[in-house]
């Protein structure tokens, strides 16, 4: 079977070379967009530009697409408008890295080349087809001249090139498309996942879709990766969730190990994660469950039937994509972080959109949620560490953390609560943690909390973004709320200052409360309880810029808390050309 599949693959690759050159000589499609001043000599260009979060030199970027490792080189593709700061007809930008932190730009990987992607190349995934052939295959959504969404396939032109600078589209494109028989809406059919291989000798892939308000992960099967058949049932669906974008389906080991599993792993040693991006509210949600290889169906575990129950990130974080790093045996998560600035400000900057720091993701030992943690390579940028001694942070107090570059830092801090006498009671009607955080922000005094960090703070505290905890009592249980309060993040009146929040599944008496925050000029990624809850915020201070930014530990509750440990590092600039 493997030899037959390999032979077919190289046959189709061979055919693709001729078609690629023929198509390129026929027509060049114009890529429209809003012109932008994407130049480092433009002063506003640098003001909010990040130093260690991935972003291209200029213009608009959104979804990460097809990330992989090939011959020891990491590849990041992304939806990109090379001619403007707004969404236009997208191409696939391409950068490579040896450490997922420092990136080298490569030529555009996929752009309008055939009728099936004449109006753009949307999100997709890479599958390493077989260990024997070690062939990366990219499935992605093409947009036809009639604005129909179809699924196309591309292969590297030269498999001996570890940087994969050229790709060709197969002549059989499109491989998957809407028909009256499959009842697929041609404008709601996009973002194929990484494929997985099963014992029956067939590949599986899912594509996001909807029927009315029914969200769908449509399932397709193929023996040769060219001819795909539509399954008579979706992998999973859920009512009243709208369009499912960027679906991702992958196994995770059940023993709490951070080791990742190859996408084709199945059996009793793993659970499966189904993640989708909800187009209605721009949230990335996931469920944990069981994949039945006989029925080709996914069943969420008890308590996870509601697909909105768990989110990767409770802030700005969308269109995420994972891949299995077979070199380090990790599953790595990437995502797009949208702007919170106005279009006028984006035009001044000359760019829009960044990516989150890559995260390692694995199943918590409880089996009830995923753990996320910045990849260890980010620690190579740390320098000039500053430590706070163990000390009590009294109610109403503020301590500045000196000696760290507060606009470009990695901060870790742990708290202990010794006195629960003044704890506030939890109201069962407080079911929305984001709404609760907006009502009980950093400036609203409480019993135990708010306490945490004031990041990107100006002298005098006219500007700051507060990341903090509050603890409540619900009967005999403790409820921990984690918030990222942006209400005072900027004096710019046009900036979005949404406050984000989530409840954290942690026992503060047994485990204490831990925060790790990555600060990078206009983005703050906050990891609570050692990766159980994450909130990402985009902020655009007008005063707390570069060396004018400050960092504080604070406590606005009536109860004292103990800082048991705290260390902060200034971060070097990554090489992202």
Buried b (16+ CB within 10 A) or exposed e, 313-338: bbbbbbbbbbbbbeeeebbbbbbbbb
> Which residues fall within 8 angstroms of residue 562, CB to CB, at 6 or more apart?
390, 391, 392, 393, 415, 416, 417, 418
Buried b (16+ CB within 10 A) or exposed e, 186-225: eebbbbbbbbbbeeeebbbbbbbbbeeeebbbbbbbbbbb
Phi and psi for 278 in degrees, rounded to 5? -85, 115
Among 63, 191, 284, 410, which one carries the catalytic annotation? 63
**Backbone phi and psi for residue 13, each to the nearest 5 degrees, phi listed first:** -60, -45
DSSP tally for the chain: helices H, then strands E: 5, 39
Residue 63 is among the residues annotated as catalytic for this protein: yes
Q: What is the DSSP letter of 301?
A: P
Is the distance from CB of 237 to CB of 305 less than 8 angstroms?
Answer: no
- DSSP string spanning 533-572? EEEEEE---SSS-GGG-EEEEEE-BSS-EEEEEEEEEEEP
Q: What is the DSSP letter of 21?
A: H
CA nearest to 139, candidates 121, 157, 160: 121
Who contacts 55 (Cβ-Cβ below 8 Å, separation ≥6)? 49, 61, 351, 353, 354, 355, 576
Q: Both tokens of residue 471?
A: 């603890």
Q: Which helix (H) or strand (E) holds 75?
A: strand 73-81
Contact 574, 55 (CB under 8 A): no
Q: Are 234 and 220 in contact (CB under 8 A)?
A: no
Task: Return the closest-CA partner of residue 9 out of 174, 223, 221.
Answer: 223
Catalytic residues: 63
């Amino acid at each position: 079977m493997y030899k037959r599949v390999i032979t077919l693959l190289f046959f189709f690759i061979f055919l693709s070379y001729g078609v690629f050159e023929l198509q390129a000589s026929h027509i060049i499609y114009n890529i429209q967009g809003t012109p932008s001043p994407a130049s480092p000599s433009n002063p506003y260009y640098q003001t909010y530009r990040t130093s260690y979060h991935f972003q291209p030199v200029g213009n608009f970027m959104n979804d990460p697409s097809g990330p992989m490792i090939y011959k020891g080189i990491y590849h990041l593709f992304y939806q990109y408008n090379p001619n403007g700061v707004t969404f236009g007809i997208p191409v696939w930008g391409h950068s490579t890295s040896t450490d997922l932190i420092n990136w080298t730009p490569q030529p555009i990987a996929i752009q309008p080349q055939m009728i099936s992607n004449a109006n753009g190349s949307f999100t997709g995934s890479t599958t390493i087809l077989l260990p024997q052939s070690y062939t990366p295959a990219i499935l992605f959504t093409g947009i036809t001249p009639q604005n129909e969404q179809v699924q196309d396939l591309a292969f590297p032109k030269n498999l001996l090139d570890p940087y994969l600078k050229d790709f060709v589209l197969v002549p059989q494109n499109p491989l998957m498309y809407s028909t009256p028989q499959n009842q697929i809406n041609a404008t709601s059919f996009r973002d194929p996942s990484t494929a997985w291989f099963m014992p029956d000798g067939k590949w599986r892939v899912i594509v996001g879709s909807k029927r009315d308000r029914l969200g769908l992960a449509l399932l397709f099967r193929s023996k040769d990766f060219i001819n795909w058949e539509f399954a008579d049932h979706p992998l999973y669906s859920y009512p009243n969730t709208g369009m499912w974008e960027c679906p991702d389906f992958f196994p995770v080991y059940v023993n709490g190990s951070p080791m990742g599993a190859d996408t084709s792993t199945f059996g009793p040693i793993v659970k499966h994660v189904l993640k989708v991006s909800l187009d209605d509210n721009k949230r990335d949600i996931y469920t944990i469950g069981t994949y039945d290889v006989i029925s080709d169906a996914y069943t969420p575990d008890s308590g996870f039937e509601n697909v909105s129950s768990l989110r990767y990130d409770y802030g700005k974080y969308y269109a995420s994509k994972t891949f299995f790093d077979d070199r380090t045996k990790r599953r790595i998560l990437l995502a797009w972080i949208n702007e919170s600035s106005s279009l006028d400000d984006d035009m001044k900057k000359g760019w829009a959109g960044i990516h989150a720091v890559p995260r390692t993701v694995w199943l918590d030992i409880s089996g009830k949620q995923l753990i996320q943690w910045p990849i260890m390579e980010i620690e190579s940028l740390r320098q000039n560490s500053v430590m706070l001694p163990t000390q009590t942070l009294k109610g109403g107090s503020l301590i500045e953390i000196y000696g760290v570059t507060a606009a470009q830092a990695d901060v870790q801090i742990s708290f202990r609560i010794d006195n629960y006498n003044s704890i506030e009671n939890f109201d069962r009607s407080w079911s929305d943690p984001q709404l609760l955080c907006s009502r009980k922000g950093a400036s609203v005094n409480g019993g135990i909390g708010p306490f945490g960090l004031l990041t990107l703070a100006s002298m005098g505290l006219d500007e700051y973004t507060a990341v903090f905890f509050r603890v409540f009592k619900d009967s005999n249980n403790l409820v921990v709320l984690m918030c990222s309060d942006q209400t005072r993040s900027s004096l710019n009146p046009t900036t979005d200052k949404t406050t984000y929040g989530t409840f954290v599944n942690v026992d503060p008496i047994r485990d204490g409360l831990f925060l790790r925050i990555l600060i990078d000029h206009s983005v703050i990624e906050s990891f609570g309880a050692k990766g159980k809850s994450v909130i990402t915020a985009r902020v655009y201070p007008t005063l707390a810029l570069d060396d004018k930014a400050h960092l504080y530990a604070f406590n606005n509750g009536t109860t004292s808390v103990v800082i048991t440990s705290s260390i902060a590092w200034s971060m070097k600039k990554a090489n992202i050309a």
